[in-house]
Structure 1
Amino acid sequence: MADWGFLGAGSIAASSLAPAVHAAHGPRLHAVAATDPRRARALDPARVYTDYGELLDDPAVDIVYVALHNSAHRPWVERALRAGKHVLCEKPLGLTAAEVAAMTATARASGRLLVEAAWNRWHPRTRDLEGLITRGAIGTVHSVTARFDGLAPAPGNYRLDPALGGGALYDVGYYAVSAALAAFGWRAPRVVRAEQDHWRPGSADSATRVLLEFPGRGTAEVGCSLLGAVAETFTATGTDGSITLAPPAYCAGSAPSALTATGADRRHYPAQNPYRLMVEAVDAAVGGDTAAHLVPLAQSHLIATTLDAVRGHLARGDG
């Protein structure tokens, strides 16, 4: 049973993580730090701070959840780790693979747990998908189609600003890219083609389309956008069949969901709270449960490496 402290009280913290901590068995929301104390109090913690550093100095806080904009992840993750806190950080963990590697090294040096809050990875359907593919239920995967089209950001939202780590690729693209990597057994791909659109010159990407090649295995068509036409699709095809996730492919939780695999019955999943499952797993791991399900940092690093490769391809104008 651990005491949690939140850095940030934005929409995800308010709508998902705080309710998950309050509903979970064991964790307690001890403190929230936010520039607006009213937003912090709305999460119903025992204590409210307006200075992030003061929360890190609170000896009662065992686990820090970092809910800040993407470009603030690394500095506050590392400060929290060096303060002796375990850390759950919103995805993407870092803006680059080098940032993820640096945070991983800091976690190792501090002897503290660091986990990327890719909440959908705790959903039973996502875990079944990865397990079925690993066990060869559809043979050897040779092609994947993965797409996530999300809501358009409101004016002033950090997702519009490339300096803050905004854009469709970092946001909803993360889910589609990570699902493609999982389908190919977490192998490193080569970027064959990449295209981006922008809301306006100088803004972050409003849409990204990528073709990834996994040498000797196959390809993944990955697309994402933040233009308002919401859609989430995923299909992996192998030598012996295919697996499709019924929409929404990535953000299932509050409603029942399903998975269809060739040669197997359609699997149905009741409404879940993957945020709560994630919180409980991290809390258990901090308490010494070695069987608690966590997203490996090696996978977080590969996702970041792949996003680096996409951005590098675009910067070179390779098409």
Structure 2
Amino acid sequence: MANWGFLGAGSIARSSLAPAVLATGGAVLHAVAAGDLDRARALGPRRTYAAYEALLQDPDVDVVYIALHNSAHLPWVTAALRAGKHVLCEKPLGLSAAEVDAMAQTAREADRLLVEAAWNRWHPRTRAMEALFEAGELGTVRAVTARFDGLAPAEGNYRLDPALGGGALYDVGYYAVSAALAAFDWATPQVRWAEQSRWHPDSADSETAFVLDFPGRGSAEIHCSLDGASAEEFTATGSTGSLHLSSPAFCAGAAPAQLTAAASTRTYPAVDPYQLMVEALDQAVAGHPRYLVPLDQTRLIAATIDLVRSNCAQLAQS
């Protein structure tokens, strides 16, 4: 139904989003803009552009997907919205709550959809987990443990560079924070303590660990790293029951996934959450009500990461 244009033709666009658009009935991969035109052409679009601005000026593009490094999200999301395009942007949408606020305001002014591409939020298991929390199936959630350890980035990867929005907290920590906030009904947390490690003094964080407190409710212990390990764990314990996600707890899709709650285990077949995300936004652009990650939740995740980063910065200066 919609013509899609991509800003960037990197690994995630190549491995996940382009196949998702091509597999979605009605959606068209209309254009890709990239500095390397061969990489742009490899995605199979109708048109390619060497400049991002040229794609935004294409009147046939309905939705812009932004797959650039994190620090480039704010300027290019803003430019795409002002060009009259709906926008799907890789997570984290902004490097702060203030950036999310600015983009959300531009989206309102432009009357365009702005959606964070938190692809795992469309996975049926994630949707079921959030529904269980919303329905109070565990009673009052008291404790959450969440861990996401990912592979170490290669030399030259933007994840190493703090100026580009790199680091474990923004990259894999995002998933753990999102799940923890869902468990506590998207309440605003406080940071009890936080600490970070870095690959070297000038790099982004290689590891961040912290505890979020939800006054009157409970707490979430969260650990994230990009140190070469591989682990995804999530457990929530409430006053009347507990919930556990089988590994991979956050990035399931290519294999069956399980959720255990109330002494029963549910199995979800392999699915492509990227395609579910593309289908939902494509339908929403056409005016059909579909689930999209709410911007207020995107903002709360960003605000929580702000708090963790601030706590770590204060600790480093003390």
Report the TM-score, using the length of structure 2 for normalisation: 0.99
CA distance in 2, matches of 1:306, 1:138: 23
Shift of 1:137: 1.2
* 1:79-118 alignment runs, 5 A limit: 79-118=79-118
Number of matched pairs: 317
2:274 partner letter: Y
Deviations 1:72-111 (A, max 9, x none): 0000000000000000000000000000000000000000
Deviations 1:19-52 (A, max 9, x none): 0000112211000000000110111000010100
| Contact persistence 2:187–2:214 (CA under 8 A) | yes
State the partner residue of 2:302.
304
| Contact persistence 1:257–1:268 (CA under 8 A) | yes
2:134 is the counterpart of 1:134: yes
SS at match of 1:250: coil
| Contact persistence 1:20–1:276 (CA under 8 A) | yes
1:287 partner letter: A
SS at match of 1:224: strand
1:316 partner letter: Q
State the partner residue of 1:72.
72
SS at match of 1:105: helix
2:271 is the counterpart of 1:234: no
Q: Give unpaired runs (5+ residues) of structure 1.
A: none
CA distance in 2, matches of 1:112, 1:61: 13
| Contact persistence 1:26–1:280 (CA under 8 A) | no
SS at match of 2:222: strand
State the partner residue of 1:288.
287
2:255 is the counterpart of 1:252: no
2:165 is the counterpart of 1:171: no
1:59 partner letter: P
State the partner residue of 1:189.
189
State the partner residue of 1:273.
272
* 1:4-19 alignment runs, 5 A limit: 4-19=4-19
CA distance in 1, matches of 2:293, 2:133: 17
| Contact persistence 1:3–1:29 (CA under 8 A) | yes
SS at match of 1:301: helix
Displacement over 6 Å in runs of 4+: none
Deviations 1:250-309 (A, max 9, x none): 00001111000024x21001100000000000010010012x010000000000000000
Deviates more, 1:87-96 or 1:19-28: 19-28
Cα root mean square deviation, aligned: 0.8
| Contact persistence 1:233–1:248 (CA under 8 A) | yes
SS at match of 1:39: helix
CA distance in 2, matches of 1:64, 1:57: 11
Shift of 1:68: 0.3
CA distance in 1, matches of 2:151, 2:310: 26
CA distance in 2, matches of 1:16, 1:211: 32
Aligned-pair identity in percent equals: 68
